Amino acid sequence: MPRLPQRFKDFALCFSVANLCYFRSWTALEEIHRSVSDYFAQQRSSVELELLTVVNALLLTGILWLLLLIVGDSRSRLIRYTAGAFLTLAFGTAGIQFGYCVLQQSPRLARTILSPACAPWLISLALAALPVIVVGWFQTAARVASAIAMFMFPKTVMNVLLVAWWAIITPPPQAYASRPAPGTALGTQAGGSPRLVWIIFDELDQRLAFVERPEGVDLGEFDRLRSQSLFATAERSPAMHTLLSLPSLVTGRTVVKADPGGISELMLWYQGAPSAVPWSSQPNLFREARGAGLRVGLLGWYHPYCRVLGADLDSCAWFPVTDIAPAFRWKAWTERFGILGALGRQFSREFALGEVLSGPEAGYGTSLPERLSSLEDKTEELAEIRRRALELVGDFRFQLVFLHLPIPHPPALYDPRTKRFTGKPGHGYSDNLQGADQILGDLRRAMEHAGLWDRSAVLISSDHPLRGPEYGAGLTEDDKRLIRGKLSPFVPFLLKLPDQQRTVTFSPGFNTVVSRGLLESILRGAIAGPEQAAEWLSAHTGG
């Protein structure tokens, strides 16, 4: 029987190899804790991935250790060879996982290696070398692989210590709760009270939606709204990033820099201001409306509105942007499949070599199966956002409704042929434009059904126009051809006032940061028609 130290060495070897098999998961966790603020998390999202990774690594360690014992003690050649084959597979998987993460650091090298011109030669070379290594230098190869795995053992121990440290420093679940608003009972809307619905379609582009609409793109709802709205033609958003643009729109002041100041705070640097201020303390449209006795409902995306601005809202729901941290979806997987199902899902995605090889240049969680899973998740999320948006705009108890919707922002989820959000690949930004148009129609019909459309003021705009690939927006090749050399700085601005039935065009350009002041004037009853709105814009924008 081997001595205890040898048993310990075998266990250390197996534990190291098992952790290398989950190298992508460890890399993702380190990236999350290093660069992704909990500000963007809806809850303690990474803890599920931490738990699954540790448990799966321990389970695989036990399996490898058992196989190692079988190889050393069994007298059956078949059993020894079978166990040895599984050990070889584990070593190979660990090597590929490690190589995957190395290639992530050099996308250009990854694209070269996996290109059609290079990949077949490398695969052929590997397949030709495999029998030679197994037959001729198996012992040597095994010793080298074992030495490399043992060299990585300190990193494995560090991973376990990091999990313990993350468990200590990660805020408790209650820290992610919404900030409650001072008690305002939801009752019947007072007769004659103004009602306003403000909708931000994320990355809605003025040029592609109205000026140079792609051929075959039908935006009947936007065209219908334009025919009964004040339509501005040359408006710019406060910033090209949602992080800056939404606080600018809500506060009515241009934000030039923003950094998370904790789970429930965003520190803002206003243009020309010497220091940062917390977003939660700043005057905003919602606070003004509640101060006037109006009830405010919000449904948002990206920013944790309910934690930052919850004290200014009577009803609030928000959805995180999963692109910021791919591991956020593990929480949903754990809830959907249970802990055992999530364990199996992680094991299959990390141990399936084809999935690893399908796209390492794009980063963790962006292999083809993972991209498909992400699209499915986003489609389900959008369906829930749409459902809640329809309920909110049709609820007569709210005099101010704010919607920040994650469309037509890439990735493309809408299939214009079926007129459904399918989440299937092969679609682009122009398809998402039609999806946004469908949602706008749904919102209009929900308000009409509740008898609220004609008596409501509705403002449609965007936080920024369509951006180029340098923003990492997930554009397709068709999208890139669509915008090549033609990126526009303008966003739509359509304001329908109560009972308005005709269009008024406003040509002077302005920054949509003035939206807050305009909407406050509408809520106070100072603006009742499109001509008055145009006069207000001219007076406050120099138009």
Residue 111 has pLDDT above 90, yes or no: no
Please tell me the predicted confidence (pLDDT) of residue 326: 47
Which stretch of DSSP H or E encloses residue 86? helix 77-104
The alpha-helical segments, DSSP class H, found in 114-261 are 119-136, 138-151, 153-169, 206, 220-226, 242-251
47-56, 241-250, 379-388, 454-463: least confidently modelled range: 47-56
Please state the rounded mean pLDDT for residues 474-495: 81
Please state the rounded mean pLDDT for residues 500-524: 95
Q: What is the pLDDT of residues 76-93, one digit of tens each?
A: 666 555 656 666 666 666
Residues 6+ apart with CB under 8 A from 427: 412, 413, 414, 415, 416, 476
| Max avg pLDDT among 189-198, 369-378, 418-427, 523-532 | 523-532
Residues 6+ apart with CB under 8 A from 522: 194, 196, 457, 497, 533
Compare 215 and 41 and report the one with higher pLDDT: 215
| Cα→Cα distances 221→8, 210, 363, 491, Å | 69, 12, 38, 17
Rounded CA-CA distance 118/185 in Å is: 66
Residue 136 has pLDDT above 60, yes or no: no
Residue written as token pair 């609409």: 213
The DSSP string of 527-541 is: --SHHHHHHHHHHHH
| Cα→Cα distances 446→195, 414, 420, 442, 493, Å | 15, 21, 18, 6, 22
Q: Please give the CATH number for the structural domain made up of 194-238+284-314+398-541.
A: 3.40.720.10
The token duo for 381 is 């999320």
Q: What is the pLDDT of residues 414-466, one digit of tens each?
A: 988 999 998 777 788 999 999 999 999 999 999 999 999 999 999 999 999 99
Residue 142 has pLDDT above 90, yes or no: no
pLDDT band at 112 (very low <50, low <70, confident <90, very high): low
> Of 37, 433, 34, which is closest to residue 265 (Cα–Cα)?
37
Residue written as token pair 């909708």: 199
118-127, 364-373, 443-452, 516-525: least confidently modelled range: 364-373
Please state the rounded mean pLDDT for residues 232-261: 95
Rounded CA-CA distance 23/36 in Å is: 19
> What percentage of residues in the chain have a pLDDT greater than 90?
41
Q: State the angle between helix axes of 4-21 and 77-104 in degrees (0 to 180), rounded to the nearest 10.
A: 50
Please state the rounded mean pLDDT for residues 203-210: 94
| Cα→Cα distances 94→66, 105, 353, 358, 434, Å | 18, 18, 10, 16, 44
Q: What are phi and psi of 255, to 5 degrees?
A: -95, 125
Please tell me the predicted confidence (pLDDT) of residue 78: 62
Residue 335 has pLDDT above 70, yes or no: no
Q: Are 516 and 285 in contact (CB under 8 A)?
A: yes
176-180, 195-199, 211-215, 259-263: least confidently modelled range: 176-180
Entry pTM = 0.74
> What percentage of residues in the chain have a pLDDT greater than 70?
63
Q: What is the pLDDT of residues 359-414, one digit of tens each?
A: 433 333 344 334 434 677 788 889 999 999 999 999 999 999 999 999 999 888 89
- For the chain, what are the domain ranges? 1-177+324-395, 194-238+284-314+398-541
Rounded CA-CA distance 539/543 in Å is: 7
Identify the DSSP state of 212. S
Q: Are 285 and 519 in contact (CB under 8 A)?
A: yes
The token duo for 104 is 């992530």
Please tell me the predicted confidence (pLDDT) of residue 231: 97
> Of 531, 6, 35, 69, which is closest to residue 324 (Cα–Cα)?
35
pLDDT band at 180 (very low <50, low <70, confident <90, very high): low
